[in-house]
A and B are shown apart, each in its own frame.
Chain A
Amino acid sequence: MDRRDFLRAIALTGAALTTIKESKAMSILTQSFQTNNSTTKYDLVAVMGGEPEEMFRKAIAEMGGIENFIKRGDKVCVKPNIGWDQPPEMGADTNPKLVAEIIKQCLKAGAKEVIVFDHPCDEWRKCYTNSGIEAAAKAAGAKVVPANEESYYKPVSIPYGKNLKSTKIHEAIVGSDKWINVPCLKNHGGAQLTISMKNYMGIVWDRGYFHAHDLQQCIADVCTYEKRPVLNVVDAYRIMKNNGPRGKSPSDVVIAKGLFISQDIVAVDTAAANFFNQVREMPIEKVKHILNAQALGLGTMNLDELKIKRIKL
């Protein structure tokens, strides 16, 4: 074998391997987003200037109504961010009004039950109570379940993950027919921003593993878990611009009145990151988990190729 052949052989092997790898990624990408009707009019809807529940109503209507995502008889899980023992005014947790509105719509669409939970960082009873989410969710008709013990979590494998190959996910997600991811948009000391993807860390038991094995990669990895949220609804009504994710004083918070909704988790986080960038400089390249997720084929950061509806109230 002469040198040229040798090089060609190497090049071909490399190419073949790359293709295999790519096709694996492609297989995630090509999974079409799950809706009840075949198409949605828009890939992403962005709303600003209204109250949380009002913005959600507008946005979901543009997405073809909640019925497009929730079927009669579905067991639905709504996963807000309830990570911190902070009042709603701090924007450390998802806005309770938004959570309540989503629950009401799911039940109206015929959902059999709606379950709400999060795996908080602060003491969980205080988080559930002081965030206002437990009371709002119960009043809206949801069941609020605990997530404080490992036995509430089920082992799952993450075959497409790079650093995270398996983890334990809360039974409310594992046992649901559909789940809706309802994060809030905040600064985060380690991950730079916490939006939809980072909100996944509240469905797993062992978060320490994420931090110890490249946080930004593990966040992208966990999003490849086979059961994707049917919707990502980003609450940007209040934005914690500094000292996130917990926040230390009201001076960390900006009232921005934004809401973003999409099935594409990469796109919705990109959009929200751009929105955040107006409050405080945050180049998207710094939010590495969004880049990593695009590389895994979870969605696109190229907002120009998407059908986007922008609504100002």
Chain B
Amino acid sequence: MLKKIRVVVSIVLFSLITLYFLDFRGFLPQSFSFLEKIQFIPALLAVNVAIIIILIALTLIFGRIYCSSVCPMGIFQDIIAWLSKKIIKRKRYTYSKAKTILRWSVLAAVVVTFLFGFTFLLGLLEPYGAYGRMATHLFRPIYMAGNNLLANILSSFGNYSLYKVSIYSFGFFSTIIATITLLGIGFLAWRNGRTYCNTICPAGTLLGFLSNFSFLKIQFKDERCNSCGLCVMKCKASCVDAKNKKIDYSRCVTCFNCIESCNRDAINYTFILQNTKKNNPALTKDDNIKKIKSIDSSRRRFLSATLFSLVTGSTLLAQQTTSKLLPKKAFKRQTPVAPPGAISFEHFKKKCISCHLCVSKCPSHVIKPAFLEYGLSGVMQPHLYFDHGYCNYNCTICGEVCPTGALKPLTVEEKHLTQMGQVQFIIENCIVYNDETSCGACSEVCPTQAVSMIPYKDALTIPHIDTSICIGCGGCESACPAIPYKAIYVEGLKIQGKASIKHEQQEQIEIKDFGF
């Protein structure tokens, strides 16, 4: 019964989370972004106190049900493991020793690099973000291709209820990372169930530590158990030791498979009194973190030093090579354009775990993962590019869905004033200047008229820029038809500014006649 409830909850949440990533039509209401906001690491980064307290409380009461039924990566592994059992009938799990040192080392490395402002490692290993990238870069294109196929069939019958969409690749590097994640975690799950959760996952390590103190636990009834080992074969976390009748609670994800498997009713899920004095169940978050930090301090120092030198060294190297390798262009964006609500690169790069939900949700296809634009520590973090469109003036969806608070939610009025970058005009590339013919493609799309057309020769008009009212949406850059180099582009801002839009008075004009 417990297992059934767990499976149903897991499937519902997993389907909704995945569908929310895939859904480009707005089929699921936007409020479903709460499914992303209740994820553990995003909630920590967003300092979403209510969610953190709820998740910790749930873990202290029930054990790792977050890992079991809320985390999409966890459920994804369960699905792979379930499939492997369907295909390989005789598959059985065995008990293995805890990889405590590995787990805590990974967590320490993640925490230290994060504190040094290198969020990449956390983003790479953290389960929700890793799943988000799989959904965005691997599942979404398949979903869209299916949509296009259906739309083609329907439109040939004159039915346009579905529409075709362009499938863009959002960056080679992130797609590769997503593929490696899928294959790597998928392989581990196929072989041994929840290996990733109990060796690498930083959320798993933290919550596993907490679940040592949970009130409700799975427990052997010593008098009934004959150590037959059926439960061990079913344990995807490899944490049940039937010989010694012990369960490693730090790895148990309370899936209840063992209870279901037992023929003798020798395992149950009950309230356990803490028998040690030092293990206080009412631990606060801060205490926990202190505990984590107290562990293996020499190792931590070693790791942090290694990683830090690695990171800084390679950043320097990368900066040197990129400036040499890139071909000379008429313009090269010096500073990337961060999505609206990023506040500053410092804030954004610290908080973003690259789940790419904003990439999936942007209706204008204008957000994509960076490669080295933000430097090495910002690999995979989203930035704006204007190959397929520009940031819609009235759209605020990226900030609304962002679960980590890396992008601040903006109201439409705030968005209208948020300056992500500033326009730059290169007159030598401009069609009006070179061909002396009309164009105006840039000014046409400019929502604030930071690019306006002013009188030029004869009846011609030529672009004129006012960076103070530019919001950096990239409309001009996207529209500029000049080849081979665009005549207008947006230079990003490291700290997002405020556009100084002036309000204009409405003139009363009365028209009495046709004028001809």
Contact = CB atoms under 8 A, between A and B. Distances in A.
B394 A258 contact: no
A201 B203 CA distance: 53
Contact of A275 (B448, B459, B515): B515
Contact of B160 (A143, A215, A274, A285): A143
Which of A146, A192, A211 gathers the greatest number of chain B CB atoms within 10 Å?
Answer: A211
Interface string B55-99: 000000000000000000000000000000000000000000000
Contacts of A152: 164
A226 interface: no
A205 B435 CA distance: 23
B163 interface: yes
Nearest to B503: A249
Nearest to A257: B511
Given A125-B363, A248-B449, A279-B511, A214 B163 contact: no
B392 A275 contact: no
A96 B506 CA distance: 23
Contact of A248 (B437, B447, B515): B447
Contacts of A274: 514-516
Contacts of A251: 504-507
B431 A151 contact: no
Interface stretch (B100-108, B218-226, B419-427, B438-446): B438-446
B511 A211 contact: no
Interface residues of B, number: 47
Contacts of B417: none
A85 interface: yes
Contacts of A246: 444-447
A278 B363 contact: no
Contacts of A208: 441, 479, 481
A279 B166 CA distance: 41
A213 B434 CA distance: 11
B395 interface: yes
Contact of B440 (A85, A191, A286, A303): A191
A97 B173 CA distance: 49
Interface in A242-278: 243, 245-246, 248-251, 254, 256-258, 270-271, 274-278
Nearest to B469: A248
B453 interface: yes
A216 B438 contact: yes
Nearest to B163: A146
A126 B395 contact: yes
Contacts of A215: 437-440
Contacts of A288: 438, 459
A146 B160 contact: yes
A280 to B, nearest CB: 8
Interface in B107-165: 158, 160, 163-165
Given A149-B166, A216-B438, A286-B459, A121 B514 contact: no
Interface string A114-150: 0000000111011000100000000000011110110
A188 interface: yes
B483 interface: yes
Contacts of A209: 481
A211 B164 contact: no
A189 interface: yes
B160 A85 contact: no
Interface string A206-223: 011101111111000000
B441 A85 contact: no
Given A212-B431, A279-B509, A190 B453 contact: yes
29 contacts: A46-B516, A121-B479, A123-B363, A125-B26, A126-B392, A145-B160, A146-B160, A148-B164, A152-B164, A189-B440, A189-B452, A190-B439, A190-B440, A190-B461, A192-B438, A207-B441, A208-B441, A212-B481, A215-B440, A249-B503, A251-B504, A251-B505, A254-B511, A275-B515, A278-B511, A286-B459, A288-B438, A288-B459, A310-B514
Given A189-B440, A208-B481, 16 more contacts: A48-B511, A122-B392, A144-B160, A149-B166, A188-B444, A191-B438, A192-B459, A211-B440, A212-B439, A212-B482, A216-B437, A246-B444, A248-B447, A258-B511, A278-B511, A279-B509
Interface of A: 46, 48, 85, 121-123, 125-126, 130, 143-146, 148-149, 151-152, 188-192, 207-209, 211-217, 241, 243, 245-246, 248-251, 254, 256-258, 270-271, 274-279, 285-286, 288, 303, 310
Interface of B: 26, 158, 160, 163-166, 363-364, 389, 392-395, 431, 435, 437-441, 443-449, 452-453, 459, 461, 479, 481-483, 503-507, 509, 511, 513-516
